[in-house]
Structures are given as structure tokens and as C-alpha cells.
Amino acid sequence: MRKPDSKMGKTGKSITRQSKHYSDMSSHEPRVSDETQPYLITREPGKAEIQHPRNGKRMPRVAINREYAVLDVKQARQICLNWLSYVNLENALGLGLPEIDDRQHFWRVPLIGKNTHERIGEVVIDAKTSLIVAGKSTTKDVLETRLLGRPNGTAGRKARRSNGTYILSSLGNTVILGDSEVELHNLPAQSVDLVFTSPPYYNARPEYSDFVDYEDYLLKIRKVIQSTHRVLAEGRFFVMNTAPVLVRRTSRNDASKRIAVPFDIHRIFVEEGFDFIDDIIWVKPEGAGWATGRGRRFAADRNPLQYKAVPVTEYVLVYRKHSDNLIDWNIRCHPKQELVKASKIPDDYERTNVWRIHPATHPKHPAVFPMDLAEKVIRYYSFIGDVILDPFAGIGTVGKSAVKLSRKFVLIEENPAYIEEIRQGCMEWLGKEAENVLFVNCEGIRDSHRLL
Ligand SMILES: C[S@@+](CC[C@H](N)C(=O)[O-])C[C@H]1O[C@@H](n2cnc3c(N)ncnc32)[C@H](O)[C@@H]1O
């Protein structure tokens, strides 16, 4: 906190004002920052002079006559920067040149998207009180929505690596109702740091499947992988949990068959610009696979050739978005090295690519993955503060794990019933903070589930 400059008091009457007032534009509730920055105005009647508290420069007469609290462009900018940092948008937005509207006594400060270099909105400051005018400024929600709606591949890419500098993602916790193939187009380029997901299950029986056939299913997965490539930061990881599916026989004369989904998806990843890193085998306890019925016939007859293994594993396939930079670059160039340090993994990590984890069940969703799995993936492939995306979010296991591990989440799910589970979950995981989660295409917590 800066103290008032006592030298200024010698030359005339002094006025001390608190210059860092904020208004939370999204809630319309005025707030005062815990940090104050008083400054002195020195008045000499007749001369109408003012000295800047820090550099001693003379200030415009009009500012004194009008008793402005915000005297110059620098102060207007500082108020905006403080507000941007308060609403966690300082990495996404920069400032244009503040202008004084001397009819209304407002400072107008343009907000410019750092990725797009376009004007996204403005902050209006009452020049006399230094308060942000909530009703006239662009709200936090609108800013976030506009940022999400303005992807710009090349600009984002440049910004993220300008001068070899790694810029942190500006996305906050976000829940999106909709088809991920569509919704991913609305996320800014390189705005997420890790993708962990398990795609919808392919069911070959037409009555249970959303897909015309298996090729149609793979095409859907390809489109999502393609779009995810754009939103994933350079050199970061896409981890997918998947498994072969069993297509049951339809009559006694038919044979059941298994479709090797992970291997087909592997080819798609490689074709879409990802480098293969690891095939982790998630092993479930032995009882888990018997429900599939596989291996029962052999267990009874024991004929060679009829042998069928009971599946107790799934794949956790790890890919890295292709980059000419080594992984070491992602670690060295992270701008917050204290977070890199705090993200170090303790001794009890998985040494091999065989992970033994109990499957999870949920009363409202048939195919959730266990928290333990999500937590391992998030710990091993992201830093504290990173943004983790799940484009097939289900009830939001990735979101819950991300919060637990001090990361942020972006969850996309097309089923409104699961979005409702996520909304309930947000309140449980985040408490009061849940009000700040951005809900897209659906009601936010602030609107529908106001916390007491
Ligand atoms: C295997 S589940 C994921 C469950 C999640 N891992 C969890 O723990 O809750 C796949 C989810 O993807 C959703 N889904 C399927 N197609 C989708 C699409 N095109 N866009 C968004 N979500 C989709 C389904 O509704 C389902 O909830």
C-alpha cells in the first residue's frame, strides 16, 4: 500500500482519496479492494495546478476544477487492470487507450482481446468517484462469452508463444451444454492445457446407437479430436480412456465380435497431428469383466479355439499435440515456475503402464470413470492452475478432480440431465465459488441455484 506523499502537503491544501474502488460488474454489487492506493492532490487557488503524486508532473486544470478522483490515463488504466485481475481476465484482455468523456465525467477504457486484438468491450469509470459504472461497462459474463465466441487459430497460436513466451490460459471454470463437435469451435485457440475424456460407447445395435454405423462413430470421434487439436496448447496432452467393445450376437447362428475401437482411434490421433506417447492399461479387479458373459462358453466346454479372455482392462491412451518443442520447453517456459514446483509428483506414483484401479458406478450415469483414474491423469499431465477439458463430460468427474487438484475445468456434455448433475456437483466442489462458473447454453448457478 502506498502512503500519502507528505511533501505534497507543504505546497497547499491536500486531498487524500482512495483510488482503487471496484464494482463487481457481474453481480452489480459494489466492492472495495482490500488494497488501497491513496494519492494527494495539491491545489493552489488561482494557478489551478496539480502535481502528480509519484512523478511530480503538472496535471490538467480541468481535472482539478472538476474534482476528478481519476486524474489521468495511467490511473484509469490501473483501475481497469485491478478489476481485470479481480475477475481473472487479465491474461485474456488488454487495454486500449482510455478516453475521458467530459460531458458525463466518465473514463472509457476499451478492453482488447489478447488473442484476437479486437475490441471486446469497455470499462466505464466514474471520474469523480473512481468507481466502475456497472450499468455502462461490459459485464464479466458478456466478456467471457465474447472471448469464447471469437476463436482465431493463428492469432492465438502466436500470442501463446510470442517471443518464445508461454502465456497462461485465461479460461475459468466453464460448463457447456451441447454437442462437443459444435461447441469446441467456440473455444479460443490453445486455451486448454490438458484433455482427458472417455468418448461415448459405440453400440453396434441400431436401436441403442446414435450412429448410423461404426464409420459414422469414428467420424464423430475424428471431428472432436480435430477441433480439440486447435484448442489444446502447444505440446500438451490428450489422454483418452477407451476400450474394445463387444457386439453381442443377435441369434444362435451368429457369432459375437469385438471391435478394436482404441486401435482405430489411435490412427485418427496420429492423422490429426498428435504424437503417440503411452498406452496405459487400466486393470480392474477380476470380477469386473464377467458381466460381459465373455468366456462362459469356454469355461464350460474347454475346447481349444473357443478360448475367450474375460476383459478386465481398458486403455488410457496418451498423445501429445505435435510440437517441435520438447516437453522440457513446456516445463521451462511456464511463466509461473512456483506452480511447476508445487505440481511435482510425490513418490507414490505409478511406475509402470499397468494401473490397478477399481471401476466406479453412479446412480445417474452408466459409464463414469473413477476419480482415482482422473486424478492420476491430471496430476501426471498438467500443472496446478491449468485448464482441463473433457469434451464428453458425463457427470463431470474430470471437473471434480480438477478442482480437487487446484486446476480449472471446461466440461462439454450434450445431455441436460448430466449437466444438471454437474451443476449440483459444482456447488459441492466449489462452494460459494460455484457462482463464478460460466454456464454456456444453460442456466448458471447465479440465476437458478443462488447459494445462501
Ligand atoms: C463415457 S461417458 C463419460 C462419462 C464421464 N467420464 C464421467 O465420469 O462422468 C460419455 C458422455 O459423452 C456424452 N456425449 C456423447 N456424445 C456427445 C457429444 N457429441 N457432445 C457432448 N457430449 C456427448 C454422453 O452423454 C455421455 O455422458
User: Per-residue pLDDT for 361 more than 70?
Assistant: yes
> Residue 8 C-alpha to ligand 1 middle, in angstroms?
64
Q: How far apart are the C-alpha atoms of 284 and 281, rounded to whole Å?
A: 10
Which residue minimizes the CA distance to atom 26 of ligand 1? 394
Cα dihedral 68, 69, 71, 75 sign: negative
Does ligand 1 come within 6 angstroms of the Cβ of 280? no
Q: Identify the pLDDT of residue 33.
A: 33
DSSP labels, 80-128: HHHHHHHTT-TTTEEE---EEETTTTEEEEEEEETTT-SEEEEEEEETT
Q: Is the pLDDT of residue 337 over 90?
A: yes
Q: Tell me how far apart the alpha carbons of residues 166 and 171 are, in angstroms, rounded to a whole number.
A: 15
**Domain 151-448 CATH class label:** alpha beta
pLDDT tens track for 279-310? 999 999 877 666 667 778 888 899 999 898 88
> Would you call 236 helix, strand, or coil by DSSP?
strand
CB atoms within 10 A of CB 196: 27
Per the structure block, which three cell numbers stand in for 83? 478489476
206 falls in which pLDDT band (50, 70, 90)? low
Residue whose grid cell is 507543504: 10
The sign of the dihedral angle between the CA atoms of 315, 321, 322, 327 is: negative
Q: Which atom of ligand 1 is nearest to the CA of 200?
A: 10
Question: Domains of the chain: which residue ranges?
Answer: 6-139, 151-448
pLDDT confidence bin for 156, thresholds 50/70/90:
very low
Model's pTM, two decimal places?
Answer: 0.67
Q: How far is CA 90 from CA 74, 124, 171, 242, in A?
A: 17, 17, 11, 37
CA of 297 to the centre of ligand 1 (A): 33
Of 269, 287, 284, which Cα lies nearest the Cα of 315?
A: 284
